[in-house]
Amino acid sequence: MWRYGVCVLTRYDERRGNSGAQILAEVSLVAEATTWVTLRQPEFLPDDVDGRVLFERATACLKAQQEGRDPTNLPGGFGDVVMVPSVLDARERGVLQAIEPFERFTPNGAVWNGGIAKSFDAVIWCTGFRPALQPLSSLGVVVDSKAQVDGTRSTQILGLWLVGYGEWTGTASATLVGVMRTARSTALELDEYLKQL
């Protein structure tokens, strides 16, 4: 077990949250503690919603666009968290509690409004389908809108990996198929790194 636990950040705007919830569910099985940080409180789809229901929603969204109606104003959001088995299990274990974003990173964790500080062994930042590298700019790792990496590991900051950002972290790494390759190799690198701590 890790000493301080893991923080999972989810940008979570209108179409975000599933990856963060699923990663939190998995990490919470091995971390001493987890903290789930979201921009707004996550909303969960009913337990019985499956791929068929999501396909029907996508069809309704396309139809609304074709008819000139607002596709974002349909009942039930695509960004609501789908209750896949791992997320259902995490809910049963009481780990799906999200808290508001912190003010800033610290060398050991983060500080929230009011000066409340918390240390983390690791931060997993789920930014959705768009890079959100602005908070890393002050660390000197971002050049020309890209973090400087060797594979997925930062060349500038020890203990920083970035997975899923277009071609510069692996071929087709912004796709599910492509990111599986880089995620596997990154997980092995992280395992070796943590063993040395």
Query: For the residues of 89-153, what is the DSSP string, one character each?
Result: HHHHTT---EEPPPSEE-SSEEE-TTS-EEE-SEEEEE-TTS---GGGGGGT-EETTEE-EETTE
Q: Is the dihedral of CA 87, 52, 54, 170 positive or negative?
A: positive
CA distance 64 to 155: 46
Task: Cite the residue boundaries of each domain of the chain with CATH code 3.50.50.60.
Answer: 1-44+80-130
At 104-126, the pLDDT tens digits run 888 788 899 999 999 988 888 87
Q: What is the pTM of this model?
A: 0.71
At 25-56, the pLDDT tens digits run 999 998 888 999 988 888 888 888 776 776 77
Q: What is the CATH number of domain 1-44+80-130?
A: 3.50.50.60
DSSP assigned state of 127: -
Residue 15: is its pLDDT beyond 50? no
